[in-house]
Structure 1
């Protein structure tokens, strides 16, 4: 193969790779790179930082590879020096070991920093709202303990309010994911994981199952609707006034394997999420996750009422006394 033809092929593949990367993010349907909240924004920035740091290594390596292939190609008349006895160069060793070490250290710093930031509420000035998420075969159930309503395959939240998700499963291991609001979190039977998400502005977002859990897992999708607080409150009142309450029999039907459409319930059995969690926890203490976030309110009686309701929920779990501690 002639040198000119090889060079053209190298240029073609480089351009093809660049086009694939650059054009893939042109539309808003590329959800991971379309953050709509502070959690997703933090993770997006970490992706960009990681990409830049990786490019510092990848781009020079690819460029040097192309140069070496072209410069030292085996063709008649090539004047490139040939040094078969060359074995070591201290300066080069420092460069190709030192630069990756520095990059890994920088990436590690940003990663650890953001991991700790994302463990907390993204907005300290607004009290978070708790929503409990249960992965079923093959549907998502959401229970709102403060509003005492429940939904299936549909999630409505107030915009500008951090949402504290408590996530578990009564089915094979799954993964709860709303890409435009933040990263995924696993849903596992007998365990409660937690995740903070927030939508900055009103809008509609798509939620997914991002973990294979059976033949219909690809259909485990749900709509997330963020509304202003007053509209969210009206929606809660509408659900309470126009939809039936969920009974234990209704839940037993829901947890059977199969698909279902969007459902709304004006109430749900008290302590349902805690009961699901305790059923498979085998005595493991989930108090650190199940503890609700304290509301920031001037009226101390409101905080006391919230704490009392919290401890009442915990005491309903098998093996818990009224102090929330395990027997």
Structure 2
């Protein structure tokens, strides 16, 4: 008896242990106003849902006990409606849905990542509104993160250091695959896409040492695509910038071409200098020498089309160099751009062995184009030809 009770206690503790080991409370330990509001939305939404779940679970036990066989309850075979019961069943969920909808609508606008912060929750955030936002350019790579500080003229890999109490504007893009920039202690999850720029405004209100992640599966090295996130005071941030400038390594084109190659478990790297135009060229996908940027291609299109938007001919002003080799080597040419001789045939190509004898070949005047035997209705077996009569 005692042994059975001990086993039951152990089994009851297993779910709690699994819950404690599996949960990372970083989402519920915010270090900024954006992350704090997102945490509060989770709490409010969970509480509203529990208003339905908890009473239902309790009533299941109460009804099962009260109306068990032979114990209490009144059998009424003619019961079919209760206004009070219907009112409770429909009104309470409807009110909860209305509250959740209003919460979702308001938070969607207030927490728009493109919107600068305008809510003052702490003294640090009030200070953040006075100072100009710190600009950080984020580039998602395979499988690492590049952070460019254009105002400080430095860059880092897999380390993001921010001053506490200063609003930060992140400009986010990707080199190759779609990813998500996710710093849960600071803000939410924002997509990083090639050829496109996302924006995020956030602020840290206390010193913190945490991690950021990629929340979108992007291949073999996705599991280790993480970066260090540190929130420091202004003095420490200045010291860190000075240390990065003293590293002596510059992020020039040759270094970037090596950095952009797929790699895993990349250690933290600092660059003392970075080209002021590097992020724009990454965004417009023209880092390679001789390859035109998207803005240049559009400008050529406008010039070739006469300048009027309705007269633009896409691709007419394509400058030289657009077919230059990409960063990861030669890109295979699609079959749609090849001639029939270059494409050849394979098991997935249903090309007839002798096109000249193929039924229905599309040659003008060929009688086989009129061959409809495959779709003509067949005669009924009972309808015999007159000759056989």
TM-score range, shorter chain: 0.7 to 0.9
1:112 pairs with one of 101, 105, 116: 105
- Aligned residue for 2:281? 275
- Given the alignment, which residue of 91, 97, 115 partners 1:98? 91
Structure 2-normalised TM-score?
0.63
Q: Aligned partners of 2:22, 2:165: CA distance in 1, in Å?
A: 27
**Between Structure 1 and Structure 2, which shows a larger proportion of helix residues?**
1
Higher-Rg structure is: 2
Does residue 235 of the first structure (1) align with residue 230 of the second (2)?
no
In the other structure, the counterpart of 1:33 is 28
User: How does 1:185-264 map onto structure 2 within 5 Å?
Assistant: 185-259=190-264, 260-264=266-270
Counterpart in the other structure of 1:8: none
Segments of structure 2 that go 5 or more residues without pairing to the other structure are 1-8, 118-124, 287-292, 300-306, 310-389
Residue deviations 1:132-165 (CA, integer Å, cap 9, x gap): 1111111011111211211111111111111111
Distance 1:320 1:234, change over 3 A: farther
The answer to whether the 8 A contact 1:160-1:201 is kept is yes
* TM-score, scaled to structure 1: 0.74
Tell me, what secondary structure is at the counterpart of 1:279? Answer: coil
- Residue aligned with 2:273, SS: coil
Find the residue that maps to 1:160 and give its secondary structure: coil
Query: What does residue 148 of structure 1 align with?
Result: 153
Cα distance between partner residues in 2 of 1:278 and 1:189: 9
Where does the alignment leave 5 or more consecutive residues of structure 1 unmatched? Answer: 1-11, 281-314
Assess, with a 3 A threshold, how the Cα gap between structure 1 residues 242 and 177 changes in structure 2: closer, same or farther.
Answer: same
Who is 1:311 aligned against? Answer: none
Paired residues for 1:9-20 under 5 Å: none
- Aligned partners of 1:82, 1:273: CA distance in 2, in Å? 75
Instruction: Answer whether contact 1:25 1:33 (CA < 8 A) is retained.
Output: no
Match of 2:142 in 1: 137
Within the alignment, does 1:48 sit opposite 2:43 as a pair? yes
- Check the 8 A contact 1:133/1:166 in 2, yes or no: yes
Match of 1:65 in 2: 60
Change (3 A) 1:180 1:86: same
The C-alpha deviation readout for 1:157-189, integer Å capped at 9, x for no partner, is 111111111111112211111111121111111
The count of residues paired between Structure 1 and Structure 2 equals 272
Deviation, 1:207, is 0.8
- 1:318 is aligned to 296
SS of structure 1 residue aligned to 2:212: strand
Matches of 1:17 and 1:185, distance apart in 2? 35
Q: What corresponds to 1:81 in structure 2?
A: 74
Q: 1:49 to 1:25 in 2, by over 3 A?
A: farther
How far residue 269 of structure 1 moved from its aligned partner, in angstroms, is: 2.5
Following superposition, the deviation at residue 316 of structure 1 comes to 10
What is the CA–CA distance in structure 1 between the aligned matches of 2:97 and 2:130, rounded to whole Å? 34
Return the offset for 1:201: 1.5
